């Protein structure tokens, strides 16, 4: 059995779903379990509708909702009544938000869940009309989570027990990604990009031989194509490399996706639904050795650098504890860290709570903030054991001012921060240094 997850661009229209059906049919002997995302940008539109309702813009919200309803009806066939029922329920939710004027995390989950609930219905019917024996299931009946809305964590024992029943079903089973429910049946979501996570959870639960992530690129590339077009396809990489790349900005994979796959040692393959003949990128426990110490260059834009200095803390214990207690209290993750006796620099990509964080830190330290920064991360299993890699990295970008450097916290990356305006130049220079003559066994 395999799990095939199709992202939003792979199910964005009737035509896209027909392509997905053809891809599934070609692998029918492997007993596919299909996980689908919401169609196109539906989740963003749902959240925008909810936000408008909360602001008191009731008519605008309902007008946008009608546009979204018309889109789903236009791109579907055979499930019009089910779609109408879902949008009736959604309309009631939106009207309730307009009255309450408040958007709770539970309400966010309730609204945003409709994208996958509807797309999975449409996909299952489209598959049937393309000649497949397809059955639709509601993910909320199988993915059981805690009650931490918008970032729910699966309760694996219960979830795996329920998922085991899918392995006994015949035909192609279709379910929505991203969504689950508590033991009490309250709808939850796994966080943005959570459809990848759903695929991995489902793969682990049914004992899949492979998890396939179908998207709109040929797999992982040696550089972000939005920054540097013309990078090479990475044929194989390790789970550890994939997790690092995903965390540091490679958008083809959700960072949490690999975790259930690692535990069950299930290979994950990234594939292109518009070019199904491409072999994609295979992610395994341990990738074959290659001549390059660097597997790929990842990057994050919209990074903020926070510098914290306190001479009063010289020779005192508890400085780091006080700093990270503040970030923890405001639920703001830190990407990178550099520290000395009395100063600490950290990077964050979520600035929602930056002002109160700064106010708390200034109670015991001087704080400066640098915005419009970018984080560049060189990832490879053999960075630590390959002499001269750091020299080559910083030699390639010697004309660029580097604001912060991190190596050693991870065995497989070298990370640094530059001004956002220097990002493209940095990536281009690094790619030229490490991928001018790529190893054909590892890259294409």
Sheet holding 268-272, edge to edge: 134-136, 172-176, 32-36, 2-6, 210-215, 268-272, 281-284, 236-238
Judge contact between 94 and 50, C-beta under 8 A.
yes
Is the CATH number of domain 2-216 3.40.1160.10? yes
Dihedral (C-alpha) 387, 389, 395, 396: value to the nearest 10 degrees?
Answer: 150
Q: Residue 230: what pLDDT?
A: 87
Q: Residue 410: what pLDDT?
A: 63
Residues of the chain with confidence (pLDDT) below 70:
255, 313-316, 408-410
Q: Residue 289: what pLDDT?
A: 84
Whole-model pTM? 0.87
pLDDT, one tens digit per residue, over 295-345 is 999 999 999 999 999 877 555 677 888 899 999 999 999 988 888 777 899
Q: Residue 169: what pLDDT?
A: 93
Judge contact between 201 and 154, C-beta under 8 A.
yes
CATH topology of 2-216 equal to that of 296-435?
no
Query: So where are the chain's domains?
Result: 2-216, 296-435
Q: Residue 314: what pLDDT?
A: 57
Q: Which fold has domain 296-435?
A: VC0802-like (3.30.2130)
Residue 215: closest CA among 14, 62, 9, 2? 9
Q: Residue 317: what pLDDT?
A: 72
Q: Residue 315: what pLDDT?
A: 55
Q: Residue 313: what pLDDT?
A: 59
């Amino acid at each position: 059995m395999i799990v095939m997850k199709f992202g939003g661009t792979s199910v964005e229209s009737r035509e896209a779903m027909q392509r997905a059906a053809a891809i599934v049919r070609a692998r029918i002997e492997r007993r596919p379990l299909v996980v689908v995302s919401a169609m196109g940008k539906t989740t963003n539109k749902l959240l925008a509708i909810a936000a408008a309702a909360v602001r008191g813009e009731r008519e605008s919200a309902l007008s946008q909702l009608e546009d979204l309803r018309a889109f789903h009806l236009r791109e579907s066939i055979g499930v019009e009544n089910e779609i109408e029922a879902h949008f009736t329920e959604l309309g009631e939710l939106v009207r309730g938000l307009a009255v309450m004027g408040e958007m709770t995390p539970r309400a966010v989950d309730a609204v945003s869940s409709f994208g996958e609930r509807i797309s999975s219905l449409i996909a299952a019917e489209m598959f049937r009309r393309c000649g497949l024996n397809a059955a639709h299931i509601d993910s909320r009946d199988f993915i059981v989570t805690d009650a931490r809305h918008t970032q729910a964590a699966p309760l694996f024992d219960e979830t795996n027990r329920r998922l085991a029943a899918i392995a006994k079903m015949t035909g192609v089973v279709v379910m929505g990604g991203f969504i689950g429910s508590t033991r009490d049946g309250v709808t939850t979501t796994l966080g943005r990009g959570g459809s990848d996570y759903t695929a991995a959870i489902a793969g682990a639960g049914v004992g899949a031989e492979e998890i396939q992530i179908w998207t709109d690129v040929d797999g992982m590339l040696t550089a972000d194509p939005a920054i540097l077009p013309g990078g090479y396809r990475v044929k194989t990489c390790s789970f550890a490399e994939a997790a690092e790349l995903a965390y540091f900005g490679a958008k083809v994979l959700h960072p949490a996706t690999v975790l259930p796959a690692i535990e069950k040692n299930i290979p994950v393959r990234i594939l292109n639904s518009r070019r199904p003949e491409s072999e994609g990128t295979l992610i395994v426990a341990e990738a074959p050795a290659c001549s390059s110490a660097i597997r790929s260059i990842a990057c994050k834009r919209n990074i903020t650098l926070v510098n914290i200095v306190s001479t009063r803390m010289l020779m005192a214990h508890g400085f780091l504890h006080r700093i990270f207690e503040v970030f923890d209290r405001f639920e703001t993750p830190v990407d990178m860290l550099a520290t000395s006796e009395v100063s600490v620099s950290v990077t964050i990509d979520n600035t929602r709570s930056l002002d109160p964080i700064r106010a708390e830190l200034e109670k015991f330290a001087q704080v400066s903030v640098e915005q419009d920064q970018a984080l560049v991360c060189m990832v490879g299993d053999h960075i630590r054991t390959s002499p001269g890699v750091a020299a080559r990295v910083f030699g390639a970008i010697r004309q660029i001012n580097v604001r912060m450097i991190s190596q050693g916290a991870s065995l497989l990356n070298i990370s640094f921060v530059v001004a956002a305006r220097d990002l493209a130049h940095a990536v281009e220079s690094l790619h030229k240094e490490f991928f001018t003559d790529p190893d054909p066994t590892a890259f294409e």
